[in-house]
Amino acid sequence: MLKRDSSFSILDIFKGDNLRSFGSGLVLLGLAFVFEHFADVYALSWSLRPTSTYVGDLLLDNLPVINLNFLIIECVLVAIVVGVIFAIIYRPRYILFGMKAVALLIITRAFFISLTHVGIYPAHIEPGVGIFDSIYLYLNFNTGFFFSGHTSVPFLIALIFWERLPERVVALTVSAVLGIAVLLAHIHYSIDVFAAPFMATGSSISRAVSSRVTTLLCDPVRVRVRLSYQM
């Protein structure tokens, strides 16, 4: 049975330094989605040009094309909603770090997809016409190749919850399943999938380092006191 974190509730986010951190996290997350939107539009416009052709891929050239939209679209959207609710109710202390780490990952992906423009693999599965598919398309989840958001985001969640075994196992499983799914659907090149965990790890480390640096610059006295207790 799941147990709530009794030492930190969702209300604690709206107190003191946590509230300022939450506000900056919302701003960063909002900017990340704006950057990604324009990067997706830019990359899409380039991908339609004659110079943007598909390239060969060792895995895609040999794997069968399988329609796994149920996993890639419906399950992903449901997992996002369920994951947010789970974090709010059971793991609110991870929200502040998590939202900034996810924002950094989104910004990093937006930067990369705006650099190199290749065409999508010719044999691939397109989204359908249902309500989930419409939401998926509206959120631009179907654009951009490098790197795979389906693989990197759950891997990043696993890193955020690394000290908690059940959450870590679930997130890593989701990352692996979605990585396989996007390859079988031929909507990502293999490099997009295999590079995703490294990008997620980089985002997690960068967020952790920036948090320590910000704490040191804003409150060096507290840091010195904390270090003196540790020595």
pTM: 0.87
**Cα distances (angstroms) measured from residue 111 to each of 105, 106, 148, 209:** 10, 9, 13, 21
Task: Give tens-digit pLDDT for 34-62.
Answer: 999 888 888 877 766 776 788 889 999 99
Residue-range domain boundaries for the chain: 10-217
Asked whether residue 231 carries a pLDDT value surpassing 50, the answer given is no
Instruction: Report how many helices (DSSP H) and strands (DSSP E) the chain contains, helices first.
Output: 9, 0
Q: How far apart are CA 157 and CA 23, in angstroms?
A: 21
Task: Give tens-digit pLDDT for 159-172.
Answer: 999 999 999 999 99
| Mean pLDDT, the chain, integer | 86
Do residues 109 and 199 touch, judged by C-beta distance below 8 A?
Answer: yes
Task: Give tens-digit pLDDT for 175-186.
Answer: 999 999 999 999
Q: What residue has token string 């709530």?
A: 4
Write the CB contacts of 135 (distance below 8 Å, at least 6 apart in sequence).
77
Q: How far apart are CA 210 and CA 96, in angstroms?
A: 13
> Please, is 230 exposed, middle or buried when counting C-beta atoms within 10 Å of its C-beta (0-12, 13-18, 19+)?
exposed
What are the φ/ψ torsions at residue 52 (nearest 5 degrees)?
-95, 90
